[in-house]
A and B are shown apart, each in its own frame.
Chain A
Amino acid sequence: MKETGKKYRSREVNYNEIPAYIRRRPYYIIAPGMLILIGILIPFITAIILSFTNYSFRLPQFKFVGLRNWTGMITSPEFWHALSVTLRYGFFATLTQMLLGMGVALLLKKDTKYSRILKVAFTFPLMVAPAIAVLIWQLMTSNTVGVLEKVLNIFGIYNFPWAASHETAMFTAVLIDTWVNTPFVLLLILAGIQSLPKSPFEAAAVDGAGAWFTFKTLTFPMLKPFMYIALLFRLMAALQEFGIIYALSKGGPGNTLMNISLTGYINGFTYQKLAGALPYLLVLWLIINKAAGFLVKRQRHLAKQAAGE
């Protein structure tokens, strides 16, 4: 559809011939939306400037302190810990969701009544807010009222610590994240599966190709563009996850789950060292932006490849 539009324009429209008031029309049309969004860009610039000052809610005045906040961040072990938590959380949450989502999507491939009902039902957790998802899992995992405790008791495990222990806090947070977001990956990949062309698979079946061979050489490569989109959305969100971790344990126990988002929030609000917190968040922004740029590029390349160009 887009292609026909382009052709029509190149044939009919010469930019020098149309009057300026028509040429400017698209800018007028997008102006209201842009104004609303750009109003929000100002804070971004403010953030960069303030990261070179000693701004705090407690001080009435602030002055420029050069790179002190930045060097302070790089030399503090807190930052490296936060970075490691951010990357680990992003890795584990995204990997689990991608694998699980892919697996279940393949199971849902066959169109039966059961799979059609499940497909609708699987969208429910996706609608749940992160903070509410944490509450729902508190009901599941509570050692006094939770049903999981009773299930684990059957296997002889008592008082599983979940978010309260250093060892299992990350697991619990990733579990909740997985519960909410696996359906997202699942739906995207399922849409990809349903859009696959029939003929290559028929040809493979005629040639007597096995199931694994077909998956490896046909299904998987053709699904790659869809997986990249899912990966892009999930990884970007997991790297900056705030809601689930904050609602679950506020980054605890100790500093076990203090990723960059939470460290920035605690430093900026609880300790009121706003200028000191901003470099953390700018680094996070940089990481996310670079990762997103890379994934978008790869995705486009793969989509073109899949389209046979």
Chain B
Amino acid sequence: MSELQDNNILLSVRDLKVAYRVGSKDVMAVDGASFDVPAGAIVGVVGESGCGKSTLVRALTRVLARSARIAGGEAFFEGTELFGLSEPDMNKLRWRDIAFIPQSAMNSLDPVYTVEAQLHEVLMQRGGMNRKEARQRSAELFEMVGIEPQRLRDYPHQFSGGMRQRVAIALALTLEPKLIIADEPVTALDVIVQRQILDQLKELQQRLGISVILVTHDISVVAYTCDKMVVMYAGRVTESGDTATVLTAPFHPYTMGLYNAFPDLAAAGGVLTPIQGAPPSLISPPPGCRFAERCPFCQAACRTVVPALIEVSEGHNTACHRVAEAADLRVKAAATETWEANA
């Protein structure tokens, strides 16, 4: 664990496994995920629905569905291993050190209380403030996220979707955490509001020097916002590294395919190339690389041997048997025919 000595790493996740109980079987929604979150960075966790990205970040807060459990691995937050903490100790970290913005801010706010009451609850019960301090801090927080403090007395339904998302960000910031985990914070929003929220999040992150884990299915959101990215596929991390490096010179065929399938408004016309097939069932996952079935570069070994996540250059990791040929595969992956041949 050389990462533990590294002062710049705020959170280090190692071989995390999360299982859901389905009938009498365990389904591994996250099956051995490792990545680091540096201090003061925004890390994007990107993948398709069902890839385990939401489960992964929820496991870090240890707030999981009743049928789910952490089945292995470690997560070091400033050197403290989170999964070994007692529940009261973990609870001390929540809000204060690690704050969570759930997927839909619309449902995360209590409809029968004013947003002020909800901010005060956190500030007074968790932060130990008195009412006067809480009132002052609430107003500050609202200003920080760009809402007029007069609106503190409003109820959640009186806010638009974008405003509610800002309220959720304000809530996450209440106790000045070191890490904010945001699960699809802009998914249901229109592009203009999405852009404004992302700008806000980025500005606050830079001003306060905090770290953010941003979960999304949208690689353009990652490209716009994140310093680093982690690509997940069917419960595993397939690639991770600096956003610029991963997007411009991906090593994993899945990342290459995702990039091809994504519309790029800045590029001329062009063709969108789908990845054939669908992700495998996690109830009986394939024995080798989970992307093998959809991968145009699949070889015999890919179907039987699980590729390890290895470092291809500093801070850039990939789990693919054909990493040595990545430059060549990148050229082939850019052609639509490559992906059609696999149909």
Q: Do A and B bind each other?
A: no
Partner-A contacts on B (CB < 8 A): none
- Which residues does A use to contact B, with CB under 8 Å? none
